[in-house]
Amino acid sequence: MKRTHTISTLCRMCEQGCGLEVTVENGRPVGVKGAKEHPYNRGWLCAKGRAALDFFNSPLRLNSPLIKRKGRFLPVEWDEALDFAEQGLKRLRDRHGPQSLAIYHGEGTGHQEIKYYMKRFANVYGTPNFMGVGSICNASRTIADTVTLGGVTKPDIPNTEFLIIWGANPFVSHEPAPPGELSRLRKRGGQIVVIDPRKTETGSKADYHMAVRPGRDEILILNMLHVIVREELWDKEFTGKWVHGFEDFAREVKENRFSPEEGEPLTGVGSELVRHVACSYARARLACISMGNGLEHHANGISTMRLLAIMKAITGNLDIPGGDLFTPGPTLEDMTRPLAEPSIPPIGAEKFPLFCKARQEGHALCLPEAILQGDPYPVKGMAIAGGNPSLEWPNSSQVRRALRELEFLMVIDVVRSPDSQYADLILPACTFLERDEHRANVYHNLPVISLRREVVEPLYGLPDQMIWVKLAGRMGFGKYFPWKTCQEGIDYILGGLDTSYHDLVTRGGIYEYEKRRYKKYEDQGFNTETGKVEIFSGKLRGFGYDPFPIRKEILHLIEASADFPLFLTTGGNLLCYLHWQYRYIPGLRKMAPDPMFEIHPDTAFEYGLSEGDMSEIETSWGKIRLKARVTPKIRPDTIHVPQGWEEANANELTGPESADPVSGFPNLKSLRCRIWKIYKD
């Protein structure tokens, strides 16, 4: 007899956390669809979400812990695996001190409560070196907004009339909104501008596409600000009362060197289009801006995103309906609050002090030097959960050397990741359909907490949270991890709110912790030193950085050379994958079976390339081979290499040079390269 029921939960095929309805039959999930009642995705579901059952049922899932012995991985029972982990972790601490262990959460555990358990474990163990994917994703945007606006803003797309999407492609990787929300914006007469060197899926559906030259976004923003200031289109009442440093800024922006006409040869964007978009944005009744990773991965990332934050502010678009909103997070019990202060700073604190202070963690991209050179002190062991550094971080060859050098490496994941080959111990985690956890939806501008539910009991692994609880027990830290189930952990975290795990279940998995309020700064000011939007940033000055957003070297640009004549952008998710994940799912792999780089037809003709031709791409850091995809939807001076392919790893082409001085984020999107066709023998 069939027993069928439906459970509301949250997808975790990517970080967005869309509402999901899962049909369960006799204890097995048999169907998934988007949850129409969820306030974020409203029933929409992407290809990855629709493949959730393929992920759950994958034959490549780890079904037991694995220990490496004599170069081979052998399956063992959980007790033996936990004994092995305990011995390795204690040996590290006894030989080299607790700071010799780094604990890293990758994208696979990002935006989840799992990292709270990991950070708590690091603190009790005594290492300051908890670090995560924020070292290369999203945190840079957070810092830029915070030092300028005093908090992080997100675009209010459901209510806006004019949307600028800068360096993002939400029709594929749907931050800041699922495609349905963008379609609704168009249907109600709103306009969309996309700024990207590529005419992406989103750019193809926009009213205007501005194909900026890679790395020149900063100049393009200044060109737009020049128009807004010269035409006196800024919000004079708001700016006069709430913006610190505007007069000096306006004086410099008005200079002719920042006019759209002067900028056109540098940015590649026509001056008339720049003027039209700048005026349309400033004059729009309701306008907002969404920033993507495309702005983070440059040497000037922070200053570029600060300029966008300033543009939001001076046009009066902060914290108003249809503008860029501050959505305060819920009052949660801080599981990551230090139980003891580490005796030594985290890796990266000397190079990137503001980043490490703001994040309360180390900088992962400084880790290879600590492992290989002992700078600033040796790291000998590592635990990786849901991450794959050799595909996520720049300079992949150095990252692989570092992983091989470790005395102890523990990997926790659902399947064997490429980097797990270097591990001493692999622990199987369960999928998101097999665990409970809460999710605060401030990422989506929603003052709600959602619930991800255990739809079925775990087949093989354990929920990540419980893996860390069990490790803590083995290490003698049990009193700091008293939770026997994920549900107990959720109740602890939600202790400051009028809700609980079971209350969330009865509410359908959604709890609104406060009502939406606008213009909150009128009551409390902005969370900065001056209580205002800070063009001249006191926070940056306090950490020894230039407090003014217009860099002195703004027009000193890396130009083409005979050796490396083309721009190279890397990254950019494909619809069917999330960074390096899911290429093992057949239905998704059919959508993009091979790694291919994008090249303009004129450039392809110049290099004798046709669709599908094998080519070699080289930078000063390395070279890879992959096939050509010839498309007019990219600038002729630019090629694009997607991320996440082990057999054609884009990060073989990248390195730590030209990192942003504040965030430490690497330059992944305005590199120089050369290409040539590979002829068959």
pLDDT in tens, 178-212: 778 888 999 999 999 999 999 999 999 999 999 99
- Whether 373 has a pLDDT exceeding 80, the answer reads yes
CA distance readout (Å), 490 to 298, 657, 675: 38, 42, 52
Mean pLDDT of the chain: 94
Which helix (DSSP H) or strand (DSSP E) does residue 243 occupy? strand 243-244
Structure tokens at 613: 């031709």
pLDDT for position 551: 84
Q: Map tokens 């000011």 to a residue.
A: 525
Q: How far is the C-alpha of 535 from the C-alpha of 307, rounded, in Å?
A: 8
User: 305 falls in which pLDDT band (50, 70, 90)?
Assistant: very high
What confidence score (pLDDT) does residue 591 get? 95
Beta-bridge partner residues of 581: 578
- Cis peptide, bond prior to residue 376, ω within 30 of zero: yes
What letter would DSSP give residue 474?
H
Tell me if 513 sits within 8 A of 448, measured CB to CB. yes
User: Using an 8 Å Cβ cutoff, are 156 and 325 in contact?
Assistant: yes
Number of CB atoms found within 10 A of residue 276's CB: 15
Cis before residue 593, ω within 30 degrees of 0?
Answer: no
Residue type, 14: C
- Spatial contact of 28 and 56, defined as CB atoms under 8 Å apart: no
SS3 278: helix
* Residue labelled with tokens 């994940």: 581
Nearest Cα residue to 567 out of 222, 266, 218 = 266
Distance from C-alpha of 166 to C-alpha of 288, rounded to nearest angstrom: 11
**Binning pLDDT at 50, 70 and 90, where does residue 3 land?**
confident
| CA torsion, ordered 36, 456, 117, 140, to nearest 10 deg | -30
Distance, CA of 394 to CA of 635 (rounded, Å)? 24
Sign of torsion over alpha carbons 623, 629, 630, 633: negative
Q: What burial class does residue 374 get, using C-beta atoms within 10 Å of its C-beta: 0-12 exposed, 13-18 middle, 19+ buried? A: exposed
Q: Is the pLDDT of residue 116 over 60?
A: yes
Q: State pLDDT tens for residues 547-587.
A: 999 887 765 555 667 789 999 999 988 889 988 899 999 99
The predicted-structure confidence for 610-639, as pLDDT tens digits, reads as follows 999 999 999 999 999 999 999 999 999 999
558: three-class secondary structure by DSSP: coil
Can you tell me the distance from the alpha carbon of 592 to that of 588, in angstroms, rounded to the nearest whole number?
Answer: 7
Cα distance between residue 412 and residue 532, in whole Å: 44
Give the separation between CA 128 and CA 171, rounded to whole angstroms.
Answer: 38
Per-residue pLDDT, averaged over 427-442, amounts to: 93
- What is the spatial order of strands in the sheet that 191-195 belongs to? 208-210, 191-195, 162-166, 287-291
Tell me which residue of 53, 51, 6, 11 sits closest to 25, measured CA to CA. 6
Least-confidence region, from 32-36, 109-113, 302-306, 476-480:
109-113
Question: Binning pLDDT at 50, 70 and 90, where does residue 343 land?
Answer: confident
**Structure confidence by residue, pLDDT tens digits, 351-364:** 999 999 999 999 99
pLDDT at 560: 60
pLDDT at position 558, please? 56
- Amino acid identity of residue 353, one-letter, is P
Q: What is the dihedral of CA 212, 215, 221, 222, to 10 degrees?
A: -120
The pair of structure tokens assigned to 162 is 């004019």
Specify the higher pLDDT residue, 346 or 559.
346
pLDDT of the residue at 174: 65
Cα–Cα distance, 657 to 491 (Å, whole number): 45
H-helix or E-strand containing 625? strand 623-630
Residue of 77, 197, 49 lying closest to 577 (CA atoms): 49
- Rounded to 5°, the CA angle 583-176-277 comes to 120
Provide DSSP, 161-189.
Answer: SEEEEES--TTTS--SS-HHHHHHHHHTT
CA atoms of 132 and 130, how far apart (whole Å):
7
- Residue 537 Cα distances to 138, 150, 444, 529, 534, angstroms: 20, 10, 27, 8, 5
Euclidean distance between CA atoms 130 and 146, whole angstroms: 22
Query: Do the Cβ atoms of 616 and 625 come closer than 8 Å?
Result: yes
pLDDT of residue 441: 78
**Burial zone of 379 (CB within 10 Å; 0-12 exposed, 13-18 middle, 19+ buried):** buried
DSSP string for residues in 104-157: EE-GGGTTSTHHHHHHHHHHHHT-S-EEEGGGTSSHHHHHHHHHHHSS-EEE-G
CB 597 within 8 A of CB 678: no
Domains located in the chain, CATH noted: 4-56 (2.20.25.90), 66-137+334-433+459-499 (3.40.50.740), 157-322+527-542 (3.40.228.10), 566-677 (2.40.40.20)
pLDDT of 559 reads: 63
pLDDT digits (tens, 9 = 90+) for 5-46: 999 999 999 988 999 999 999 989 999 999 998 988 889 899
Would you mind telling me the total number of residues written for the chain in this entry?
A: 681
Q: 485: pLDDT confidence band, cut at 50, 70 and 90?
A: very high
pLDDT at residue number 581: 92
pLDDT category, 665, cuts 50, 70, 90?
Answer: very high
Q: What is the predicted pLDDT for the residue at 589?
A: 96
Residue 578 three-state SS: strand
User: If pLDDT is split at 50, 70 and 90, which confidence band does 107 have?
Assistant: confident
Beta pairing, strands 208-210 & 614-618:
unpaired
- What tokens does 295 get? 């702005």
Rounded CA-CA distance 83/88 in Å is 9
Rounded CA separation 294/121 (Å): 33
For residues 492 and 489, give the distance between their C-alpha atoms in angstroms, rounded to a whole number.
5
Give CA–CA dist 22/455, Å, rounded. Answer: 7
**Is 109's pLDDT higher than 90?**
no
